[in-house]
Amino acid sequence: MQKHNFFAGPSILPQSAIDATIEALKDFAGTGISLASVSHRGKEFEAVMAEAVALFKEILNIPEGYSVIFLGGGASLQFAMVPFNLLKTKAVYVNTGTWASKAGKEAKLFGEVVEVKNPDYFSLPKNFEVPQDADYIHVTSNNTIYGTELLTDPDYGIPLVSDMSSDIFSRPVDVSKYALIYGGAQKNLAPSGVTFVIVKDEILGKMDRKIPTMLDYRTHIKENSMFNTPPVIPIFTALETLKWIKANGGTEGMLKRNNAKADLLYAEIDRNPLFKGTVAKEDRSIMSVCFVMNDEFKHLEDDFAALTKSKGMVGLKGHRSVGGFRASLYNALELSSVQALVDAMKELEQKHK
Ligand SMILES: *Cc1c(COP(=O)(O)O)cnc(C)c1O
């Protein structure tokens, strides 16, 4: 049976990227050796790294003066590495969810944190004061767990840092508005194990504190992400995903694809009397669509879970901290998978109305 993969992360990737990785694991670039067993310093892998960085910059239209590096440690290590490298005295953290709050917690180890937060995570804070003497402001562009998303590139007058783990390459981004963008690759780009960082070179090197070599961005920029052994397999897959994104219209093409999927699903959530959305309409994510059953239909939750499962849909359970349902509509997910979900919602409605 065809599967419809709505998992939040690790998650769906283009089939072409998976297939190319399988081939490379058998015989990498005609070397007769598995990608898992070649030297990362060999010319074949160095070419993969160089092409991945070049394509990453090309697709996101990254201006001069920025570096792209691939690291280990996940987005969670960036929660600490960002303040270690950038926080002198004070930073602003927009707390829009669980991940944002984890990022702010690490920053508090390094200086004062001014937190911006709504009473709950079902909408994004707006029109807040940003102290102009802060070193930077940190946002989490897509709230993977609650389903809100910042779909613009804001200007707060101070350096902007964004955790784009779950929406990188889902839309065009004006990188020139950012000092630093980071994310774990396992939502929209590659298998887990690699973390991307886009950093404006001029913001680095202004810190008095000593930074351990591995935690200093400049180490990895200088060594082209080869200071130590990089995660070669996910970097290879990331390159193949980037090729797929380029072949499918780049970030403009992805935005069109993603809007079509999100529009289809939200329209059904709003129309179908069994279901309702959980976040403020103006802040709805096009990547992470969260919804619940209306109170009088709550007893049908298990039925809906069983129905979708019987039709090959996986990964629809809401995050354990929120409950309900969540459909992750990452780039590689086809519109036909969302249509299958919408059809299941209609089928349940027909049975129970
Ligand atoms: C998944 C996720 C993380 C955590 O990423 P790891 O690579 O597992 O550390 C951080 N931020 C956001 C927005 C996420 O979606």
Q: Which of 132, 134, 150 is nearest to 95 (CA)?
A: 150
Looking at the predicted structure, is the pLDDT value of residue 322 above 90? no
pLDDT at 321: 80
Q: How far is 342 from 316, CA to CA, in rounded Å? A: 13
Token duo for residue 302: 């298990």
Going by pLDDT thresholds of 50, 70 and 90, the confidence category of residue 1 is confident
Looking at the predicted structure, is the pLDDT value of residue 291 above 80? yes
For a mutational test of ligand 1's pocket, the pick from 77, 144, 146, 321, i.e. the residue with the most ligand atoms closer than 8 A to its C-beta, is 144
Q: Give 175-203 pLDDT, tens digit per residue.
A: 999 999 999 999 999 999 999 999 999 99
Going by pLDDT thresholds of 50, 70 and 90, the confidence category of residue 338 is very high
Task: Establish whether residue 328 lines the binding site of ligand 1, counting it when its CB lies within 6 angstroms of any ligand atom.
Answer: no
Distance 303 CA to ligand 1 centre (A): 30
Going by pLDDT thresholds of 50, 70 and 90, the confidence category of residue 129 is very high
Looking at the predicted structure, is the pLDDT value of residue 353 above 90? no
More confident position, 144 or 322: 144
Helix count and strand count (H, E) for the chain: 9, 12
Q: 132: exposed, middle or buried (C-beta count within 10 Å: 0-12, 13-18, 19+)?
A: exposed
Token duo for residue 138: 């940190």
Q: Strand pairing partners for 234?
A: none
Instruction: Name the CA radius of gyration of the chain, rounded.
Output: 21
Q: How far is 172 from 208, CA to CA, in rounded Å? A: 35
For the chain, domain boundaries: 4-10+249-351, 15-247
- Residue 146: HSE in the Cβ half-sphere, 13 Å Cα cutoff: 22
Percentage of the chain modeled with pLDDT above 70: 100
Q: How far is 338 from 327, CA to CA, in rounded Å? A: 9
Residue type for 196, please? F
Q: Averaged over 53-81, what is the pLDDT?
A: 98
Q: Is the Cβ–Cβ distance between 281 and 259 less than 8 Å?
A: no
Task: Establish whether residue 99 lines the binding site of ligand 1, counting it when its CB lies within 6 angstroms of any ligand atom.
Answer: yes
Looking at the predicted structure, is the pLDDT value of residue 91 above 90? yes
Q: Is the Cβ–Cβ distance between 144 and 9 less than 8 Å?
A: yes
pLDDT at 320: 83
pLDDT at 127: 94
pLDDT at 306: 97
Q: Atom 7 of ligand 1 has which residue's CA nearest to it?
A: 74
pLDDT at 297: 96
Task: Establish whether residue 163 lines the binding site of ligand 1, counting it when its CB lies within 6 angstroms of any ligand atom.
Answer: yes
Q: Is the Cβ–Cβ distance between 65 and 202 less than 8 Å?
A: yes
Domain spanning 4-10+249-351: which superfamily? Aspartate Aminotransferase, domain 1 (3.90.1150.10)
Q: Averaged over 33-40, what is the pLDDT?
A: 97
Phi, then psi, of 117 in degrees rounded to 5: -155, 140
Task: Establish whether residue 339 lines the binding site of ligand 1, counting it when its CB lies within 6 angstroms of any ligand atom.
Answer: no
Task: Establish whether residue 184 lines the binding site of ligand 1, counting it when its CB lies within 6 angstroms of any ligand atom.
Answer: yes
Distance 76 CA to ligand 1 centre (A): 6
The highest-level CATH class for domain 15-247 is alpha beta
Q: How far is 70 from 224, CA to CA, in rounded Å? A: 9
pLDDT at 181: 98
Q: Atom 14 of ligand 1 has which residue's CA nearest to it?
A: 165
